[in-house]
Structure 1
Amino acid sequence: MQIKWVEIKNFRSINNSKRLSLSSDLTVIAGKNESGKSNILQALKCFSENKFSTDDYPIHNEGSEPEVTVCFEMDGKELSQVDKKANLNSNYELIVTRSNEECLLNGEAMDICLSAGNQNIEAALKKIDGQLADILLDDELQLDFNIDIEIDEDVTNLISSINSYLKTLNENTKMEYEVNLNSIFNQVKVVEEEIENREQYYEDFENLIPNFVLFDSFTDILPNSFTNEDEDQQIIKRFFSLTDYELLNLFAVNGQRRKQLANRVSASISGDFNDYYHQDIVKIKVEPDGEEIYFFIYDKDEENPFRPEQRSKGFQWFLSFFITLSAEKKNSILLIDEPGLYLHPKAQRDILTLLEKLSCDNQVLITTHSPYFIDPDNLERIRLVNKVNGATNIENKFYKGADKDTLTPIITSIGLDITKDMTFSNKGNVVVEGISDYYYLGAMRTLLGSECPIADDINIIPSVGASQSLNMIALLLGWGLEFKVLFDNDNEGKRVAKKAKQNFDLSDETIVMVSNNNDFQIEDLFSNDDFNNFIIDGYREKKDVKNSSKIKSTGTDKVLISKRFKERINSGEKIMFSEETVQNFKALFLKLGNKKLGTELVVNL
């Protein structure tokens, strides 16, 4: 059973998260510090424990109760454990809402389980209603309750009222009503039995809800030592759960026996840890000394012991991370706050790889402001968090509603990915000003397919701004590679294009402007309607506003918009662009490449 979406209300800095959808494997909640990312994980922890403390009450809405709703998706096999009527080939939603006041279960899964019982309750209540009506014809026995109610928690209260009235009737009514009363009592029993079944459903569903595990990078660190009074400390409990030995056994024996037991615990944990930690071979030893048990970390030569706090923060984090995840069973919901905060970039990438492996068996939710935990090929797993008027705002789509600081890790990640994958071609290269140009050209190249008038072996290379294209030109010239350079026809593009011709004595054919129209950028090659409908999701503005100018009005980074468009095309989405858009891009590709078309194409860009 996995989380499909979450709604958080009146929890710390979160007034109303609305529906936060989660990926089935790994979800990355990105945002700058103090934006409220951790509060999302804390809310899910409170949901799992079914307990909210005074610290969890809202900052801005005094008097409001914290409330967390989680929609789980379960398959037919899971639901069949509760009700045999489930279709094994279907998926069902179970919606669970928890607060300090109540716990409610709703959704398709609950409806299926309650459908037969609800019908029985409705039928029984109708019979009771009719039979009471007959009895209450006696003016002396008028009663003041209405049986016409919704089938929900009020049923229990109604049955209590009916029982009370029946008791009164039984004591006061005439003998000829005894048969009716017995029949009413029987129908009440039917309703009570169905209510008991409903309570059993609640219990069965609660048992199916997966385990939530919160790993806090700042608090769940293995200590230097512990005593028997620390047995409830979570990280200590998890450490010993990985061994075959009970924590209290170490305090129940003394002398040589205690030392032998400590050595067995040490050997049990060290071997597994080195399967995950590849920076160095280490041994983790547990050594008793009086009332305390100490943890020591030995290098492979086993000569120099270190206490955990004497190792790097990165090592401490990795060790505690390993202990926590290894102690938990599969099919858990793993909540990880700022993973690898103290690790260097390469180690953070390794942690991302480990998280992706874990997500095969567990749903993983992490918070981060590091670009190294953002995979540019999986931007759909990102949820952005920022603060608006002091309250935490969560956006399901990574390209909407975020400020520049919040978007920074994503933009950085995209840039890192481009430089990592950048290659050069002996047959021809096209240098473009930035990453958004790279994404748009790559997407349209894919979309046009065999109709694209640029050779397949010509490589498109992004720079990081028009002025930086000069460095790329120098590099390609030094290597003796063929190339062309594409500039926007704005002031900066024209200035750098002129400088490139002067500095490197480049021909007019080598320098290509995106359009002959003044101040045009690559976004302006799309028709106005195409850009509104397919690139920035229904944006509506005056017809004379250029597409490149519209992006500024949306407040969204142009790189993210172009990246999203490329992902849609790469996923196979078919977009029917207008003839204007298609011809504009064909003409540009014709100027950039050397692939010959069957007919000459003349378009005034």
Structure 2
Amino acid sequence: MKLLWAQIKNFRSIKDSGRIYFNPNLTILAGKNESGKSNILKALDCFSKDKFDKDNDFPIDYIEEYPEVVVHYELEEETIDYICDNFNLDKDSPSISKGVTLIRTAIYKEVIEVELYRDTIENVAVAIGTAISAINKEFKSKFKPNIEAITSNNLEEVIEEIKSCFINIKSNLNNEQLNKIQSIIDEIDSYIVSLTDFLSFINSDELKKTIPNFIYFSSFEDIIPNSISSDEEITPIVDRFFKVVNQDPDVLFEEANPQRRRFLTDKISAEISGDFMGYYSQDNIELKINLDGDELNFFVYGTDGQKPFQPRQRSQGLQWFLSFYLTLQAEMKTGSVLLIDEPGLYLHAAAQEDLLNMLNKLATSSPIVISTHSHWLMDPERLERIRLVLKNNDRTYVENKIHKGADNNTMKPILSAIGLGLKNNISTFGKNVILVEGYSDYYYLEAMRYYFSEMHEYKLDNFKIYPCLGSAQIINVLTLIIDSETDYYILLDNDKAGRQTEKKLITECGIDNSKILFTPAKSKAYSAIEGVFSEEDFNEIVLESLEKTKFDKVLVSKKFNERIHNKGITVLSDETVSNFKEIFDATGLLQISQIESISR
């Protein structure tokens, strides 16, 4: 299952969220307090439970408006193969669609739309049309199913309409005519059987297994106890502990052999400590369990490895982090989508960075969606993960483009994440920064930074890229860092506006022209940063099937960055690589890690 987007209507403060597009791994809902971030997560939780509470989830001013959550996802390849093999579809067809849309509301029966069955219905329509045209053209307009309006709720009616039309056609033909189109009749019969079987599949447990399961966490107050006894009810956090170490607690308690007991507890302790310390860098600790009769004790050992502490004797931050780690590790094994509301509120900055590291790693196994206003949880190299949660006239909605619609308070943590706190000097740019005109420049350069690092073993992690929202804003940003210790470069579009900005930077700000770079835009078809790609790469890889004349620059670049990071793109042309290398070379920030050149 690949979760693509969701849309929420009439849920608490949300009138219409608009489509919320999810990152394949980690999605960050960013917004200021009271913007409605939690309500988005709670709506998805209600979707999974298929239950909406009238007192809490309905909009305050509703009359005939009821909560509705729409989730759109793609089926896995094995499910597509199964459907195509069993329901008369060509899985190699370029038009094969993997999408499923599921609508759940507070009052109506859920609606499932599986896009694949549209192909079968269209095939039936074509076959019937062919039969009619071959025999009697006056019937041609009598069957024209409304493909766009078909859902799981009315598919049965569509099948009956097809059968009725088919019977009507055959009743108006003589034997000679019937024999002439016998092969088409057999084909239509086959499609009708497939559609009938497909209707059964839509209502089966097989399809229900593919529906995204959201698990919502609002707090992690359930922490590991100091000890539990064999006759004590297992709490959720202890149950998660045993899930993570893949151990049945009853088997552990029932083990009578002392040597075997010691072996099991040592094995569990080593496993949990080794994995946990891969995420927690704040202290060198060990987690151990000890089985004493019918009581299981939990201990945390410090750096000397000699002094055992009970979990509740350690800091609240460590207790929270351990609870969070166990919860995520245990639930990841279910393959669900985890919804986490404001994680790490009580952790200091370094611990929040550990938390982000954990989220990054675990999200490769199952998608995670978090809400936050902490800039420490926003990776400056992965801004494409961020979705802005905004409120207008007390109505919450989501903006997928972080450069659009946000006020200063909403943008503050994002600006801090990429190197600049506009108030109280929350953060700094660091040692090196490249100032670029806009977000599309940012996304393409971050994507190519990762591409060089992963595909060509170059080191490009010692600088930040900062989008200034237009060449005119570059001067404003420069005034904030020009007297700092930050070394900077400015990348401008190789066009008239870029040259005018260059002139202002030199004459009005006294910037040395060696600090000003231009995009080596060598493509005749595309200007600015897009022209750094070879025309073939931009048309065939970056744009994919998008219209070349009508596209949103930022969304295209954002999608490219996402695909690069998710290994959806692994090879670019020598021309493209050389052009981007020219930009990084000019800054002196491109360092060879293990190889001498990137030529292939």
TM-score normalised to structure 2 length: 0.56
Q: Residues 215 and 226 of structure 1: is their aligned pair in 2 closer, same or farther, counting only changes over 3 Å?
A: farther
**Aligned twin of 2:49:** 49
**Aligned twin of 2:344:** 340
**Aligned twin of 2:273:** 270
Q: Residues 118 and 271 of structure 1: is their aligned pair in 2 closer, same or farther, counting only changes over 3 Å?
A: farther
C-alpha displacement of 1:55 = 5.8
**Aligned twin of 1:241:** 243
Q: Which runs of 5+ in 2 are unaligned?
A: 128-148, 160-188, 421-426, 446-463, 467-473, 489-498, 517-525, 531-552, 562-600
**Larger deviation, residues 93-102 vs 78-87:** 78-87
Cα displacement string for residues 560-590 of structure 1 (whole angstroms, at most 9, x for unaligned residues): xxx969968998xxxxxxxxxxxxxxxxxxx
Q: Distance in 1 between matches of 2:40 and 2:291?
A: 39
C-alpha displacement of 1:32 = 1.5
Residue identity opposite 2:340 in structure 1:
I
Alignment of 1:139-538 (within 5 A): 153=153, 194=196, 197-198=199-200, 201-219=203-221, 221-225=223-227, 231=233, 233-249=235-251, 265-286=268-289, 294-327=297-330, 328-329=332-333, 331-416=335-420, 419-420=429-430, 422=432, 468=480, 471-472=483-484
Q: Distance in 2 between matches of 1:100 and 1:566?
A: 36
Q: Residues 258 and 38 of structure 1: is their aligned pair in 2 closer, same or farther, counting only changes over 3 Å?
A: farther
Q: Distance in 1 between matches of 2:485 and 2:250?
A: 69
Q: Distance in 2 between matches of 1:385 and 1:565?
A: 17
C-alpha displacement of 1:297 = 1.8
- Work out which of the residue numbers 89, 92, 95 in structure 1 matches 2:98: 92
Residue identity opposite 1:297 in structure 2:
V
SS in 2 for 1:415: coil
SS in 1 for 2:245: coil
SS in 2 for 1:208: coil
Cα displacement string for residues 92-113 of structure 1 (whole angstroms, at most 9, x for unaligned residues): 1100112344222114135357
Q: Distance in 2 between matches of 1:39 and 1:371?
A: 21
Alignment of 1:115-130 (within 5 A): none
**Aligned twin of 1:182:** none
Cα displacement string for residues 530-586 of structure 1 (whole angstroms, at most 9, x for unaligned residues): 99xx9xxxxxxxxxxxxxxxxxxxxxxxxxxxx969968998xxxxxxxxxxxxxxx
Q: Assess if the C-alpha contact under 8 Å between 1:14 and 1:391 holds in 2.
A: yes
Q: Assess if the C-alpha contact under 8 Å between 1:213 and 1:333 holds in 2.
A: yes
Residue identity opposite 2:99 in structure 1:
E
Residue 108 (str. 1) matches residue 120 (str. 2): no
Residue identity opposite 2:429 in structure 1:
T
Q: Assess if the C-alpha contact under 8 Å between 2:35 and 2:390 holds in 1.
A: yes
Residue 78 (str. 1) matches residue 79 (str. 2): yes
Residue identity opposite 2:400 in structure 1:
N
C-alpha displacement of 1:230 = 7.3
Q: Distance in 2 between matches of 1:151 and 1:470?
A: 59
Q: Residues 56 and 568 of structure 1: is their aligned pair in 2 closer, same or farther, counting only changes over 3 Å?
A: closer
C-alpha displacement of 1:6 = 0.1
Alignment of 1:543-558 (within 5 A): none
Q: Percent identity?
A: 35
Q: Distance in 2 between matches of 1:30 and 1:251?
A: 45
C-alpha displacement of 1:35 = 2.0
Q: Assess if the C-alpha contact under 8 Å between 2:212 and 2:337 holds in 1.
A: yes
How many residues get paired?
428
C-alpha displacement of 1:195 = 7.5
Cα displacement string for residues 495-528 of structure 1 (whole angstroms, at most 9, x for unaligned residues): xx99x9xxxxx9xx9799x9xxxxxxxxxxxxxx
Q: Residues 378 and 152 of structure 1: is their aligned pair in 2 closer, same or farther, counting only changes over 3 Å?
A: closer
C-alpha displacement of 1:54 = 4.8
SS in 2 for 1:380: helix
Q: Residues 377 and 474 of structure 1: is their aligned pair in 2 closer, same or farther, counting only changes over 3 Å?
A: closer
**Aligned twin of 2:21:** 21
Q: Assess if the C-alpha contact under 8 Å between 1:97 and 1:105 holds in 2.
A: yes
Q: Assess if the C-alpha contact under 8 Å between 1:15 and 1:60 holds in 2.
A: no
Q: Residues 284 and 112 of structure 1: is their aligned pair in 2 closer, same or farther, counting only changes over 3 Å?
A: farther
Q: Residues 293 and 204 of structure 1: is their aligned pair in 2 closer, same or farther, counting only changes over 3 Å?
A: same
Residue identity opposite 1:222 in structure 2:
I
C-alpha displacement of 1:154 = 6.5
Larger-Rg structure? 1
Q: Distance in 1 between matches of 2:439 and 2:201?
A: 55
Q: Distance in 1 between matches of 2:201 and 2:560?
A: 49
TM-score normalised to structure 1 length: 0.56
Q: Distance in 1 between matches of 2:487 and 2:21?
A: 45
Cα displacement string for residues 54-78 of structure 1 (whole angstroms, at most 9, x for unaligned residues): 5652242446433221100225433
Q: Distance in 2 between matches of 1:150 and 1:423?
A: 53
**Larger deviation, residues 149-158 vs 265-274:** 149-158
Cα displacement string for residues 78-102 of structure 1 (whole angstroms, at most 9, x for unaligned residues): 3223444555455411001123442
SS in 2 for 1:315: helix
Q: Residues 68 and 252 of structure 1: is their aligned pair in 2 closer, same or farther, counting only changes over 3 Å?
A: farther
**Aligned twin of 2:32:** 32
Q: Assess if the C-alpha contact under 8 Å between 1:281 and 1:300 holds in 2.
A: yes
Q: Distance in 1 between matches of 2:377 and 2:102?
A: 30
Cα displacement string for residues 402-427 of structure 1 (whole angstroms, at most 9, x for unaligned residues): 22211111111222597235179xxx
Residue identity opposite 1:109 in structure 2:
L
Q: CA RMSD in A?
A: 5.5
Cα displacement string for residues 259-283 of structure 1 (whole angstroms, at most 9, x for unaligned residues): 7576665455333323333333323
C-alpha displacement of 1:392 = 2.1
Q: Assess if the C-alpha contact under 8 Å between 1:2 and 1:73 holds in 2.
A: yes
C-alpha displacement of 1:322 = 2.1
Q: Residues 236 and 211 of structure 1: is their aligned pair in 2 closer, same or farther, counting only changes over 3 Å?
A: farther
Q: Assess if the C-alpha contact under 8 Å between 1:76 and 1:87 holds in 2.
A: no
Q: Assess if the C-alpha contact under 8 Å between 2:220 and 2:323 holds in 1.
A: no
SS in 1 for 2:418: helix
C-alpha displacement of 1:333 = 2.1
**Aligned twin of 2:68:** 67
Q: Assess if the C-alpha contact under 8 Å between 1:76 and 1:88 holds in 2.
A: no
SS in 2 for 1:419: coil
Q: Assess if the C-alpha contact under 8 Å between 1:27 and 1:365 holds in 2.
A: yes
Residue identity opposite 1:408 in structure 2:
K
**Aligned twin of 1:129:** none
C-alpha displacement of 1:37 = 1.1
Q: Distance in 1 between matches of 2:73 and 2:121?
A: 18
Residue 7 (str. 1) matches residue 20 (str. 2): no
